[in-house]
Amino acid sequence: MEIKGNTALVTGGASGLGLATVRRIVKAGGNAVIMDVDEQRGNEVASEFGKSAIFAKTDVTSELDVQHAIDMTTNTFGGVHFCINCAGTGLAMRTVSKSGPHKLDSFVWLIKLNLIGTFNTASKAASAMTFHEPNQNGERGVIVNVASIAAFDGQIGQAAYSASKGGVVGMTLPMARDLAALGIRVVTIAPGLFDTPLMAKLPEEVRRSLNESVPFPRRLGNPGEFAMLVEHVLTNPYLNGETIRLDGALRMAPK
């Protein structure tokens, strides 16, 4: 689908991969709805783009919040054409540690945010997309979900995180099949190590070690490179039902 003149929901859009995606969408002539829990940062980001972006304070695990954001989108821009699900976080906790078994509430919380939050937004966005007339390729919309290479190469302490992202990978094909008759494509991107605000907090020696772990290019990924792939997914009508690793050939070691 063409980005120009169309509108994208971007969860986690106030920072990191989400913010880079918002910038790419607007640069390509589209509109962006920044869905994030950080109200101050979200409004600041939206103000950068004038009439091309709005902010909707959204907890992606809340059905009411997500529907409110979609209603705002329809009222402001006329509808939803794209949904890019960047909202999520990580958790480091072993299945059994010196303090005992993995805290179940922590496991459930991460699954709810990374997996259920992704499905909540994607399914409601897909429903909104059905109101469009299909374009010349029969498309009504595109959903891009964000997993992680931890879905495949989970490290020690990543049982919850890998399960949440593995769930995102696992629902990609059936969701694409579910939505095929409606003209909605679904693709998942599994990023490797990217230079996001979370990574910026790490000590320099740790960042150097992470850089050296990537075969080529020997560095952390740039969020703009993630956004480049999002743009390609949105505009390439034959990409569907697939998970794409974006990791510089990195395969993570156990720890």
pLDDT single digits (tens) 154-194: 999 999 999 999 999 999 999 999 999 999 999 999 999 99
Report the mean per-residue pLDDT for the chain.
96
217: cis peptide before it, omega within 30°? yes
- Is the C-alpha dihedral spanning 242, 237, 17, 132 positive or negative? negative
Question: Shortest CA distance to 66 belongs to which of 1, 128, 23?
Answer: 128
What percentage of the chain exceeds 70 in pLDDT? 100
pLDDT confidence of residue 246? 98
Tell me the C-alpha distance between 115 and 146, whole Å: 10
Asked if residue 145 has pLDDT above 90, the reply is: yes
* Mean pLDDT of the region 16-43: 98
Domains, in order of start, for the chain: 7-195+221-246 (3.40.50.720)
pLDDT confidence of residue 201? 74
Q: What order of strands is seen across the sheet that includes strand 184-191?
A: 53-57, 31-36, 7-11, 82-85, 141-146, 184-191, 243-246
Single out the catalytic residue among 82, 161, 194, 226: 161
pLDDT confidence of residue 199? 79
User: Is 161 considered catalytic here?
Assistant: yes
Count of helices and strands (H, E) across the chain: 11, 9
Tell me the pLDDT band of 198, cut-offs 50, 70 and 90. confident
Question: Which three-class secondary structure state does DSSP give residue 221?
Answer: strand
